[in-house]
Amino acid sequence: MNKLGQTPSQTVGPYFAYGLTPEQYKFDHKSLATPVLLDANKNTQDLIILRGKVYDLHGEAVDDAMIEIWQVDQKGEFQTKPHQGFFSIGRMGTGTLEGNWFEFTTCIPAAEKSGQAPAIHMIVFMRGLLSHVYTRVYFEDFKELNQEDPYLKLVAEERRNTLIAKKVQESPVAIYEFNLHMQGEKETVFFDY
């Protein structure tokens, strides 16, 4: 039996738009994952918007990155098939909204395990990276839980703020902003999984 090697990761197109986020870029086939994880028609109580930009070393917003998020629902469960209006996986290219924003319609997840703070897993694919990078998004509303989170404790205290989404609007829908800085003084903390 022949043993096949692992397929290498790919950090730049041309497949982001066409293969992974086709609806956002007006291609005629359906995306497997979209920026809408929580259906606002089925659940408005827990609805939030998570938005941000990806900045390069020079502080310029990157227009051709792809952001993928994974998260549990409000009950702490991963939903890999749309379930009661929620899907645990979202993808968005940064070149589809004016200003190069990414924006996800979702909810604040439950903590995945006891002792952890609510967090969203985020993967960044973009030009200039040898491989995609991983980070986590925490929420400023959970200061006490954040202080006890085992992953945040791995990060130097002065760098933890690079992993915290800030609430910029309370109502009618809470909006959290989480900007990714790929290099420089404000560089976001990335994890090696």
Q: What is the CATH number of the domain that holds 143?
A: 2.60.130.10
Residue 5: inside a domain: no
Residue 10: inside a domain: no
Q: What is the rounded distance in angstroms from the CA atom of residue 163 to the CA atom of residue 165?
A: 7
Residue 148: inside a domain: yes
**What is residue 128's predicted lDDT score, i.e. its pLDDT?**
81
Q: What is the rounded distance in angstroms from the CA atom of residue 2 to the CA atom of residue 36?
A: 41
Find the domain containing 125 and state its range: 15-181
Work out the average pLDDT over 27-46. Answer: 74
Residue 6: inside a domain: no
pTM for the predicted model, two decimal places: 0.87
Per residue in 154-193, pLDDT tens? Answer: 999 999 999 999 999 998 899 999 999 999 999 999 998 7
**What is residue 8's predicted lDDT score, i.e. its pLDDT?**
65
Residue 130: inside a domain: yes
Instruction: Please check whether residue 126 is in contact with residue 66, taking contact to mean a CB–CB distance below 8 angstroms.
Output: yes
Residue 193: inside a domain: no
Q: Total structural domains in the chain?
A: 1
**Strand ranges, E, within the chain:** 47-52, 54-55, 66-70, 89-93, 102-107, 119-125, 133-139, 164-169, 174-177, 180-181
Residue 132: inside a domain: yes
